[in-house]
Amino acid sequence: MFPYKQVILLQVFLKFEIEHCPREIAALRRVIGKAAQPCMHDKRHIAFVFTTMEEPAELLERLGPVLEVDNFTNYTATLVLGKAAGKHGGLNSLVTRINSAFAVLNGGPAKYLRNSQTIIVPNFRQSTPREMGVERDRNR
């Protein structure tokens, strides 16, 4: 176990198409819980991004009973060592999930709100001002 949190990419390869394995995928998601975010899938492939203190081997050992079914042909867990970039940038779900996982590790959503502006909009009915936060442009 690592003394700090890290980002792990878990890839699971299926024997059949995803729509033919709903029971196995539901069992995997139930064991994973909210610890991981799904990031990409194909006909016979699904992946999750974890933010955890476990090593990849420990993660696979914990998920082993669920992953050792016949419909899962292969699975890998890999450490992600830095932010991701891709051809389509923020439209790629893998890039988005990895970068958001690193944003959580590096200080959470406050990182995105650091450059936001606060403006005062008068409320004419009650004659009291109210504050509204305006977020800066995000890279998508």
How many residues can be counted in the chain? Answer: 140
Query: Collapsing DSSP states into helix, strand and coil, what is residue 35?
Result: helix
Tokens (6 digits) for 119: 């403006």
Please state, as a whole number, how many other Cβ atoms lie within 10 Å of the Cβ of residue 29. 15
For the chain, 140 residues long, give each residue's pLDDT as a single digit of tens.
Answer: 667 788 899 999 999 988 888 898 889 888 988 888 888 888 889 999 988 888 999 998 998 899 988 888 999 999 988 888 888 777 778 888 888 888 888 775 544 444 445 554 555 555 555 555 555 555 55
Q: Cα(130)–Cα(132) distance, rounded to whole angstroms?
A: 7
Instruction: Specify the pLDDT at position 139.
Output: 59
Domains in the chain: ranges and CATH: 6-105 (3.30.70.920)
Per-residue exposure over 32-46, b if at least 16 CB sit within 10 Å of its own CB, e if not: beeebbebbeeebeb
How many Å is the Cα radius of gyration of the chain? 20
